[in-house]
Amino acid sequence: MKEFEFIRTLLSPLAKSRGAASLKDDVALLDSGLIVTTDTLVEGVHFLSTDPFETVGKKLVRVNVSDCLAKGALPYQALFNLVWPSNRSDDDLHALVNGLSSDLRAFDIDLIGGDTTSSPDRLVLSLTLLGRALGASVPRRGSAREGDDIWVTGTIGHGVAGLRAIKRNLEREFQQSVLHYRVPQVPSVEIAHLIAQHANASADISDGLIADLGNICEASQCGATITLSDIPLVQGVSPLDLSSVDLLSGGDDYQCLFTAPQGRRGVIEATARQSNLAVTCIGLCEAGTGVHLLDAGGMPIKLLKTGWEHGGNS
């Protein structure tokens, strides 16, 4: 059963709280303007066994921080759970915690609890993050409106490019992408203020831009049209045999994706300049369903793959 089918059919009926949004969002909304999100990293799935342990600790923090920022919230408390393999050394454990603690300090997050246990082989770790919403409401996946601009932060495609570079022994040639794969370069916390003020709907880009925008469209019961030439893609990746669509669907970007009324375009651009934020308008929400990708001439590009999804046997 695929990941989203599993959530929709088996877990969603258990989510009775209004703030859980039937598990159709990246975060749950608690009382008093608090949100909660959680992510799990599994060795061999979300990071490589050869990745430095310090980067694994940092990645765990950042994949959760990106969820908070995308919701116009600032993280402040965390629960850490660890399944530690018996064949790993204490030096590896110290390196992991050094990376974790470094980023908890960098994002001003207090560790308030968690759990630890052991495993015969594979490392598994998760972080549950509490955040304080900066706005009167939290933008959900299902809040996009027809006519909204679609915005992304940063550059798309570094995650999949970095992973491909590692696997092809091209780390020196693609150092920035490799760094981004191991330690996601999330937007500055200023993006949370911008999203809180202007966004209707939002999500972080973890499974791929096309897939995560598709999730917004499905939850909001609308469609979206984006233009390939408007999307800020990582450049110079031809030695990695990655197409533009591969960059859009590869995942591990951890940038912010949000929609906002067209009338806010000028103030969003001005705010981004003042805050030194890289924010790009890439398309529009519209009537219909699904995501439509156009080339520079306005012709549709067929999408054979939209993004990453965990799953077992169907």
- What is residue 179's predicted lDDT score, i.e. its pLDDT? 97
Q: What average pLDDT does the structure give for the chain?
A: 90
- What is residue 120's predicted lDDT score, i.e. its pLDDT? 87
d(CA 64, CA 75): 9
- How would residue 308 be classed by pLDDT, with cut points 50, 70 and 90? low
pLDDT digits (tens, 9 = 90+) for 130-165: 999 999 889 999 999 999 999 999 999 999 999 999
Chain centroid, CA 87 distance in Å = 31
Mean pLDDT for 67-88 is: 94
Mean pLDDT for 188-211 is: 97
Give the neighbor-by-neighbor strand order of the sheet with 290-294. 201-204, 256-260, 149-153, 279-286, 223-227, 290-294
- How would residue 181 be classed by pLDDT, with cut points 50, 70 and 90? very high
- What is residue 121's predicted lDDT score, i.e. its pLDDT? 86
Asked if the model's pLDDT at residue 313 lies above 50, the reply is no
- What is residue 225's predicted lDDT score, i.e. its pLDDT? 98
- What is residue 10's predicted lDDT score, i.e. its pLDDT? 58
- What is residue 314's predicted lDDT score, i.e. its pLDDT? 32
d(CA 110, CA 75): 9
pLDDT digits (tens, 9 = 90+) for 6-61: 556 654 665 545 555 555 555 655 566 788 999 999 999 999 999 999 999 999 99
Phi-psi region of 154 (alpha: psi -120 to 50; beta: other; left: phi over 0): left
Domains located in the chain, CATH noted: 13-133 (3.30.1330.10), 141-294 (3.90.650.10)
- Looking at the DSSP bridge assignments, the partners of residue 74 are 132
pLDDT digits (tens, 9 = 90+) for 273-289: 999 999 999 999 999 99
Asked if the model's pLDDT at residue 310 lies above 70, the reply is no
Q: What stretches of 110-161 adopt beta strand conformation (E)?
A: 110-119, 124-133, 149-153
